Homo-oligomer: A and B are copies of this chain.
Amino acid sequence: MAFHALSRLTPRAREIVQTARQLLEREGPDALSMRRLADQLGIRASSIYEHLRDKQALEAALISVGFEEQAELFGEAVHRSDAPIAALIAAYRAFARRQPNLYRLMTERPLRRDLLASGVEEAAAMPLLDATGGDRERARAIWAFAHGMVILELNQRFPPGADLDTTWRKGIDALVGTG
């Protein structure tokens, strides 16, 4: 199911995107260059353009995959639990920690929505909207808190000793109320 976001790509393009993902996550954002990626594939950088229009398209494909996986993970979390919001938030944090570089790529700049696989952004957002009973305001506030916590944590902006589990819990309690 995780390959649907790439269904419009040729098989070779899919391979390239998969390799790019491993490269990004294993060696960090600076390693995700067309030349480094080509090295990894055993070809020259210019050959990549035979399969993907440019680097933006590559990044959009990676982001699409990320959204699709989020949709799956978050939907599952909501369904499995009787405290759906807390479960979803835990899944959100886990996603970011497991693949911090992909998470950064997905959030650090405005999205090129015209390059994304259609529907993936909405699919990733849906479980939270479900969990809040369709309350968009609350969903947005919770999302903002979760993203803020995740990215400040990834960027090591909290003091070393900070008890972030407690901060998460208190923040969620406040924003969810009796949800």
Spot the interface stretch: A34-42, A65-73, A83-91, A163-171: A163-171
Smallest beta-carbon distance A25→chain B, Å: 17
Complex Cα distance A162/B156, Å? 30
Task: Give the number of times this chain occurs in the complex, counting copies.
Answer: 2
Closest to A157 in B: B111
* Contact, CB under 8 Å: B145 / A144: yes
Q: Which of A147, A151, A170 has the most CB of B within 10 A?
A: A147
* Contact, CB under 8 Å: A152 / B157: no
* Contact, CB under 8 Å: A138 / B175: no
Q: Fill in one digit per residue for A106-117: 1 if any B CB lies within 8 Å of its CB, else 0.
A: 011111000000
* Contact, CB under 8 Å: B155 / A140: no
Interface size on A, residues (CB 8 A): 33
Write out the residue numbers on chain B whose beta carbons fall within 8 Å of the beta carbon of A164.
140
**A window 119-174: CB within 8 A of B:** 136-138, 140-141, 143-149, 151-152, 155-158, 162-164, 166-167, 170-171, 174
Smallest beta-carbon distance A158→chain B, Å: 6
* Contact, CB under 8 Å: B147 / A141: no
* Contact, CB under 8 Å: A167 / B141: yes
Q: List 7 A-B contacts (CB under 8 A).
A: A137-B167, A141-B170, A144-B167, A145-B171, A146-B148, A147-B148, A151-B151
**Given A107-B157, A140-B164, A144-B149, 7 other A-B contacts at CB below 8 A?**
A110-B155, A110-B156, A111-B155, A137-B170, A138-B170, A146-B148, A147-B148
